Amino acid sequence: MNASLPLLDVKDLMVRFRAAGAGIPFTRPRYINAVNGVSLTVAPGETLGIVGESGCGKSTLGRAILNLVEFESGAVRFEGGEVSARDKAAIARLRGETAMIFQDPYGSLNPRIPIGEAIAEVLRVHRKVGADAVPARVAELLRLVGLTPDLAGRRPHQLSGGQCQRVGIARALAVEPRLIIADECVAALDVSIQAQILNLLMELQRRMNLALIFISHDLGVVRHLCRRVAVMYLGRIVELGPTEQVFSAPRHPYTRALLAAVPDIDPDRLLAPPQLGGEPPSPQDLPSGCPFHPRCPHAQTACARGNAPTLRATIPGDLRAGEVACHFDLPPDTQQGEDP
Amino acid sequence: MSDFALSRGNWLERGIGALRLGRANLNLRLGAGIVLAWALVALLAPWIAPFDPIAHNLPDKLQGPSLAYPFGTDNFGRDILSRVIYGARIDLQMGVIGVLFPFLIGTTIGSIAGYAGGWVDSVLMRLVDVVLAFPFLVLMLAIIAILGPGLYSFYIAMALVGWVSYARLVRAQVLVLKTSDFVTAARSLGFGRLRILFRHILPNCIAGSIVFSMSDVVLVVLSGSAISYLGLGVQPPTAEWGVMIAEGQNFITTAWWITTFPGLAIVFMALGFSLLADGLAERLGLRQR
């Protein structure tokens, strides 16, 4: 395989849901545009963070990439092959190479199935090992995620949240995937457990050369874990680039506001006054022009007109330095140089 | 999976374990006791019934309760106690078979409708609406009238009419579970649709149907008796409680025992299953106290 070819290539992905209460005859159905033309690539072994506030479509994006929700338009290419809902063989291939880790550690495990059996089921479905080798492989996977094999007979409710999340990771690893999408996978855990799970993920990611898409609203965690980061707002990526670049010198006003809103652990330092007023607009009727303009401190009349700005290189001709979806080249924000 | 006996997640293990260890609530214990007692009565009928339930004995006709005939005799001199005991065989069988087939059919159709969605769901649910549009007993009577009276007609009618409640119940729960995280997880791991439906969704939504089926037994036994009473179910001289009440109604003013004891038998069997349903619901955490 060509080394320069991305593992995952997402082009103009668009996901929309029928709005609740719609479906009155002879009226046009209303839609919610959850993901609105997202393009991104992930190289083998790369870690990409996706951040944004609640409802910005980051979870939906993750699920659409894995074809767990259907997308309206756009394309997902995995290892060069296009994956669409109609192509069962392509989906089966995708399932054999990808896995997902969920937010709710209890909710993502079948409450009636002992965890060893839950892992064994994955091995059997994917025929990863012969039938007689399944118990040994289950024990190996449990040890790999830091659990003792004698927990195999327990059901999820007999385990702690952190243990369940480890089981979720073990199940994902049982597939032997090349890409894992972790959707807020530590948000429901205690801070001390969060660190354990994150370290486990990082270690496994490095050891197995996994590509990881890490969806989170926790900027600190993403900065710690990811090499690149995409910032989403209302179903669009507004800024994409190397994590350090984006966090230390954010170019998009939304990214700046997001970073400024991170509370500091030092109680003597006052919280910065909120830069953003109000709620994000309803995705049912998006603002014209730049979707961020109603809340943007730098908005000008031109921002409300035309199409939403698309991602462009911050340094012309050099995509690796980062991309931003803003009409303006804002002056570097000096306040943001420090740790969030 | 038997080596995980200590775990408490599986409803079956929990149910059985609860009965054995006596941890069950009062309703469950009482209900299970009554149902079990009826099952024993039905099973041991030839040994515990003092008289033949069918043979006439005209010299002793219409006798009130006495030591020889604790529940009295009917107009043919048959011992009511023996007939009630033999009647348990028929009525228990009616309850079990009359619920089993609707349960199986309804659960299958409901889960397919809920999981498949789309036009499959629409077609199946309209079918449910059609069945529900008729009054239950009227539809039962119509089907039995077409098939001809008898117990088998009753079972067929029950299967054709009774499945709708199970279908609706299961469909609603499948719809909820379909979007749950563990089902999405199963999809993301590449599990097939049948595996997801039968291994991951159904076991998690069947408990409600099982509880409902227990209270449904009551309805089935009562309607079975009602249909026998109307002459379309079990035929005389077979001992069945509904038939006995029908036969005894001519003597209600002179020989109250002919109708009263089979009536009480129906009440007690219904009570047993009701309590069992209630206790089971509580035990399985489907109902908060």
Give me the tens of pLDDT residue by residue for chain B, a chain 289 residues long. 344 444 445 556 555 555 554 455 888 889 899 999 999 998 988 888 888 888 777 787 777 788 778 888 888 888 889 999 998 998 899 889 999 999 999 999 999 999 988 899 999 999 999 999 999 889 999 999 999 988 899 999 999 999 999 999 999 999 999 888 899 999 999 898 889 998 889 888 888 888 888 888 888 888 888 888 888 888 878 888 888 888 888 888 888 888 899 889 988 988 898 888 888 877 776 654 3
What's the mean pLDDT in A298-326?
79
Compute the CA torsion angle A67, A68, A73, A77 (nearest 10 deg).
-20
Cβ of A111 within 8 Å of Cβ of B191? The answer is: no
* DSSP 8-state symbol, A212: E
Window A:81-120, CB contacts with B under 8 Å: 92, 95-96, 98-100, 102-104, 107-114, 117
- pLDDT-based confidence at A138, cuts 50/70/90? very high
Inter-chain touch A168–B9, beta carbons under 8 Å: no
Per DSSP, the three-state class of A70 is coil
In the DSSP assignment, the letter for residue B196 is I
CA distance A110 to B27: 29
Please tell me the predicted confidence (pLDDT) of residue A23: 60
Q: Of the ranges A149-163, A285-299, B23-37, B243-257, which is most confident?
A: A149-163
The answer on pLDDT for A80 being more than 50 is yes
Would the pLDDT of A292 be above 90?
no
Q: How confident is the model at residue A337 (pLDDT cuts 50, 70, 90)?
A: very low
Token digits of residue A13: 């992905």
Q: How many CA atoms lie within 13 A of A293 on its CB side?
A: 20
Strand order in the sheet with A73-78: A31-42, A8-18, A73-78, A81-83
CB of B19 within 8 A of CB of A166?
A: no
Helices (H) and strands (E) in chain B, counts: 12, 0
Please tell me the predicted confidence (pLDDT) of residue A21.
61
CB A175 within 8 A of CB B190: yes
Domain ranges of chain B: 35-53+81-283
Q: Detail the DSSP E strand segments found in A104-262.
A: 179-183, 211-215, 228-233, 236-242
| Residues B184, A108: C-beta atoms closer than 8 Å | yes
- A42 beta partners: A8
Each residue's pLDDT tens digit, A52-69: 888 888 899 999 999 998
pLDDT in the model for residue A172: 92
- Parallel, antiparallel, or unpaired: how do β-strands A318-324 and A236-242 relate? antiparallel
The superfamily (CATH) of domain B35-53+81-283 is: MetI-like (1.10.3720.10)
Q: Which CATH architecture has domain A8-20+30-263+271-337?
A: 3-Layer(aba) Sandwich (3.40)
Compute the distance between CA of residue A243 and CA of residue A64 in angstroms, rounded to an integer.
23
Residue A117 clears pLDDT 70, i.e. is over it: yes
- Mean pLDDT to the nearest integer, A120-125: 93
Specify the range with the lowest mean pLDDT, choosing from A25-29, A86-90, A124-128, B34-38: A25-29
Q: What is the ipTM of this complex?
A: 0.84
Cβ-based contacts of B186 with chain A (< 8 Å): 110
Nearest Cα residue to B273 out of B219, B207, B218: B218
Task: Find, in chain B, the residue whose alpha carbon is nearest to that of A100.
Answer: B188
Put simply, the answer to whether B190 touches A154 (Cβ < 8 Å) is: no
Q: What are the Cα distances from residue B190, in Å, to A60, A67, A143, A165?
A: 18, 11, 24, 19
Query: Cα–Cα distance between B39 and A164 in angstroms, integer?
Result: 44
**CA–CA separation, B265 and B90 (whole Å):** 12
pTM: 0.78
